[in-house]
Amino acid sequence: MTKKLTGILIILSLLGFLMAKEPKFPKGVSSALEKAVKGELMRDDLHLTFVRDLYYPAQGGDIYFVQFVKAELPQIEEGKPAHIFLRLYDKKGKKLEDLYAPIDKVSEFYSFPITFAPGKYKIAVLIGTNDLKKFSVKIKAVDGDNLLNFRRLSTTPIVFLKGMEKLPEPIKEFRCYHGEFPLGLYMVKPYIYEKVPAGSTPAVFFFILGAQAQKPANTYNIVVSYQIKKEGKALTKFPKQQLTYSVVYQPIPLKSHGAPLEPGLYTLHIKIQDMNARTDIEKNLNFEIIK
């Protein structure tokens, strides 16, 4: 886990580098996005839905935003990918950026990261078949001014991970993924709905924001504790972590007194103490153990 944390710790300096050559959208695609953002067209052949988003601090004060969606795409033939077109608008409706990626296979989830500065935006997404005879277009409003709060002790969204896979190098271009996403030097694989198989050991993952760094070493002194609860009753307590960094990646054995937890609904209760500032917060991650 030490090597993994070392890789995670440089995420803050790597995020924000996503680059893409401005693609030229087909006229029909561009027209559909423009109409959708104005509320004139909401075609939905593929039943596109936004299911979750995650976000992290990026270079230069930007936000690294990861969107997860579902769409009922038909089978994709080799060499004939489906498409995702994304257009970012500011709060006044001015186009800021166009991004495109092929979709090479059908999956339960599609995920794509983008980077933007704090501000209010609309994200217009069109997912279509290879011939674009069927497509869905949806609009999502994002308040980037209030996603990350550094003014007080807080966190990014807390998520359970299946794991992380080391990448040979950071990914710099816009791509569509299948429920995972790149973060610095790792491919991150979350449980989208927090449904975790019995007997597994997911890792809880999040960034701690607003903690006070101790000068001159510029290090943190953070204590994190975890409990697994069911219906408000503590079943398992874990040893406290003392951290000098602000990223948490901690495997959580789903056991109580050495025995695997039964399928059902649970809560991971997390207490975070900033020992430098003498402040603390408590967070809950609700999850389900499934067979």
Give the tens place of pLDDT for each residue, 153-189. 999 999 999 999 999 999 989 999 999 999 999 999 9
Reported confidence tier of residue 285, pLDDT bands at 50, 70, 90: very high
Range of weakest confidence among 11-20, 44-53, 130-139: 11-20
- Please tell me the predicted confidence (pLDDT) of residue 42: 82
Q: Which residues contact 92 (CB under 8 A, 6 or more apart)?
A: none
22 pLDDT band, cuts 50/70/90, is confident
Would you state the pLDDT for residue 17?
A: 47
Q: For position 13, what pLDDT does the model report?
A: 47
Q: What is the mean pLDDT of the chain?
A: 92
Residue 9 has pLDDT above 60, yes or no: no
Q: What whole-number distance in Å separates Cα of residue 275 and Cα of residue 280?
A: 8
Q: What is the mean pLDDT of residues 132-139?
A: 97
Please determine, for residue 281, whether its predicted confidence score (pLDDT) is greater than 60.
Answer: yes
Q: Do the Cβ atoms of 154 and 52 come closer than 8 Å?
A: no
Does residue 41 have a pLDDT over 90? no
71 confidence band (pLDDT: 50, 70, 90): very high
Share of the chain above pLDDT 90, in %: 86
Please check whether residue 116 is in contact with residue 62, taking contact to mean a CB–CB distance below 8 angstroms.
Answer: yes
What amino acid is encoded at 59 in this protein?
Q
Kindly provide the b/e burial profile for residues 67-95, where b requires at least 16 CB atoms within 10 angstroms of the residue's own CB: bbbbbebeebeeeebbbbbbbbbeeeeee
The model's pLDDT over 72-119, given as tens digits with 9 standing for 90+, comes to 999 999 999 999 999 999 999 999 999 999 999 999 999 999 999 999
**What pLDDT is recorded for position 218?**
81
C-beta contacts of 229-237 below 8 A and 24+ residues apart? 229/266, 229/267, 229/268, 229/269, 230/264, 230/265, 230/266, 230/267, 234/269, 235/261, 235/266
Closest by Cα among 62, 51, 53 to 119: 62
Q: Three-state SS for 246?
A: coil
User: Tens of pLDDT along 177-234?
Assistant: 999 999 999 999 999 999 999 999 999 999 999 999 988 878 999 999 999 999 999 9
